[in-house]
Structure 1
Amino acid sequence: MVAKRVFFIVSIALIAASLSLFFTRGLNYGIDFVGGTLIEVRTDGPADIAALRAQLGGLGLGDVSLQEFGDPRDVLIRIQKQDGGEEAQQEVVEVVRAALGDAVEYRRVEFVGPTVSEELFRDGLYAVGAAMLAMLVYIWFRFEWQFSIAAIIALVHDVITTIGIFALFQFDFNLSTVAAVLTIAGYSINDTVVVFDRVRENLRKYKAMPLQTLFDKSINDVLSRTVITSTTTLLALLALYILGGEVIRGFSFAMIWGVLIGTYSSICVAVPVLIYMNLRSAPVGEPTPAAEAPAE
């Protein structure tokens, strides 16, 4: 706990940078949240993005964005939602097909209306909020209210920094990202519960030990388990990021960051916060041999 001030400074800097990026650059919301039409095409050779952009930009469809999608031959075309309902969106696809002709292969066409996108965005916020509230209540009943507050502070830290990473790199923020955020929250709470459980056990066992020393001992007791678990999870996620393709790259990237930041916060944020939470302690006394002896 000697470095708790350093950890707090690093965490506050990460949160401040994440919020700054969110309010200045914003998130690159996917079609799930903003509505519109998405078309994935494959050209015969490496795609000429500039020529395709010039070709589609003159069709009068409003905002049209193109980007390479994994393979140099694959192009992702995003077109803003059109006035006139679903029929107008279908007409957009026909206009694009007529402009590009048979020179490309149409691999995917998706359409999300404005009403659906608003509902998905709202439901995503509700899901994250409900998950955090449920975790707060669980920690409260499982431990004490001080542990619950510390766990939620660490959880909010993880969610905000994850959003900051997406704002920084402008990855698509869509429904799969919301699923990743919820998974990150669960992973972070799981790690935090493991550490808190050892803290609670040591609070009962070492009643004369100073809190900072006790917290250091509790972290050291579970550190190897936490590092090994996180490392094995990262190996699977790295394989998913490298080999899984462009479609799930945003999800796997969010998960990689979440495992790293969740491991950091459970050790370097949640436990140090407990120092300032006035934990209840039993009367001072050395641990008895019976307390330290294994149960028969």
Structure 2
Amino acid sequence: MRLLRIVPDNTRFKIVRFRRFSYPFSAAYSLLVIALFLTVGLNFGIDFKGGTLIEMQAKSGKTEIATIRHTADGLGFGEAEVQEFGTAGDVSMRFAIQPGGEAAQQAVVARAREAFTADYEFRRVETVGPRVSGELVQAGTLGVVLAIVGVLIYLWFRFEMPLALGAIVGTLHDIVLTVGFFLITQLEFNLTSIAAILTIVGYSLNETVVVFDRTRELLRRYKTMPIEELLDLSVNSTLSRTAITSTTTVLSLLALVIFGGTAIEGFSLVMLVGVVVCTYSAMFISTPVLLYLDVRAGRPEHAAEEKLPAGAKPKAG
């Protein structure tokens, strides 16, 4: 039985030569990200700015999220975050921190009780002040930094130095481009966003390792093949796997964006952008970097070399 091949076995795209376009684009995008970060900044959510959290349970056991959101927005305290959680009938509301100190935060709770006490039972009321939100920023930043350091250490031991450096460049590139999405769209940055970034780091690592494993295998097999041709070969031989993985992931995330509701819309959008960025990075950023590194350093030259038949391609993995 013939296996399904989304990408034909004889595909020979000249991937590496596109670095003439991908590198200037990524460099310009990265400079834009730095400029926006220093001038505009991230649009921090209640988790990081502080605010009031109210958890309620519907007395009837059913919630109308659209109605709750409309009523909460009409209280005059800015746009509220409303979402279901836990069991049926449970709903949470988050209001941004209000100017005026503790009295202003208590006013938020009082107005919310007036608006919802007839149909909902208040289960939890909590105010997150600037100090607590600052601690969350520090903890979230530390978590991302530690995760990145862990990934970099793994890459350093997983590959030889040139391959490790290429993988590190790709991972950092993916993080910068993803943060750029937050800066350009001003999508709210909260604890869920931290989870999305960490997930993207893992996806980026997976994409890079697959391509670089094939690159390392081909370096052992074809010791006199020009590096640019060998890198093109490594990308093309994993292209079918990359296409299947990226397409299925994108389709799943599109379903979440369209049908998942506002509670996970931000996470889904970031993940969708992250998957596209990681796929682009593995092919057009990380792999071409190896052109400028001595990937054949320390490899024995006397070992027998396999010959690649004309027009043939290694078996895709």
TM-score bin (small chain) = 0.7 to 0.9
Q: Deviations over 1:103-122 (max 9, x none)?
A: 99799966323332222211
- Counterparts in 2 of 1:34-183, with a 5 A limit? 34-38=49-53, 47=70, 52=74, 56=76, 64-66=77-79, 77-80=95-98, 83-84=101-102, 88=103, 91-97=106-112, 100=115, 111-183=127-199
2:43 equivalent to 1:28: yes
In 2, the alpha carbon distance for the partners of 1:46 and 1:142 equals 49
Q: How far did residue 46 of structure 1 move?
A: 9.5
Q: How far did residue 99 of structure 1 move?
A: 6.7
Moved more, 103-112 or 24-33: 103-112
- CA 1:175/1:81 → structure 2, altered by over 3 Å: closer, same or farther? farther
- Counterparts in 2 of 1:276-295, with a 5 A limit? 276-279=292-295, 280=297, 281-283=299-301, 287-288=305-306
- CA 1:230/1:293 → structure 2, altered by over 3 Å: closer, same or farther? closer
The count of residues paired between Structure 1 and Structure 2 equals 276
In 1, the alpha carbon distance for the partners of 2:266 and 2:314 equals 49
Residue type of the partner of 1:25? V
* Residues 253, 268 of structure 2: 8 Å contact kept: yes
Q: How far did residue 32 of structure 1 move?
A: 0.9
- CA 1:202/1:42 → structure 2, altered by over 3 Å: closer, same or farther? closer
Q: Deviations over 1:32-84 (max 9, x none)?
A: 1111225699675994999x3xx63xxxxxxx4226979xxxx9742337635
Q: How far did residue 141 of structure 1 move?
A: 1.1
Alignment partner for residue 194 of structure 1, among 210, 213, 232? 210
In 2, the alpha carbon distance for the partners of 1:266 and 1:133 equals 19
Q: How far did residue 192 of structure 1 move?
A: 0.1
- CA 1:194/1:46 → structure 2, altered by over 3 Å: closer, same or farther? closer
In 1, the alpha carbon distance for the partners of 2:146 and 2:68 equals 47
**Partner in structure 1 of residue 277 of structure 2:** 261
Identity %: 43
- CA 1:199/1:169 → structure 2, altered by over 3 Å: closer, same or farther? same
Q: How far did residue 8 of structure 1 move?
A: 0.5
- CA 1:47/1:94 → structure 2, altered by over 3 Å: closer, same or farther? closer
| Pairwise CA RMSD | 3.4
Instruction: Indicate the SS of the match to 1:29.
Output: coil
Instruction: Indicate the SS of the match to 1:269.
Output: helix
**Partner in structure 1 of residue 264 of structure 2:** 248
For structure 2, list consecutive stretches of 5 or more residues without a partner in the other structure: 1-15, 56-63, 84-92, 308-312
- Counterparts in 2 of 1:212-251, with a 5 A limit? 212-251=228-267
Q: Deviations over 1:7-44 (max 9, x none)?
A: 11111122122222222222110111111225699675
Alignment partner for residue 287 of structure 2, among 259, 271, 276? 271
For structure 1, list consecutive stretches of 5 or more residues without a partner in the other structure: 57-63
Instruction: Indicate the SS of the match to 2:78.
Output: strand
**Partner in structure 2 of residue 9 of structure 1:** 24
* Residues 37, 81 of structure 1: 8 Å contact kept: no
Q: Deviations over 1:225-248 (max 9, x none)?
A: 111101101111111111111111
- Counterparts in 2 of 1:196-211, with a 5 A limit? 196-211=212-227
Instruction: Indicate the SS of the match to 2:79.
Output: strand
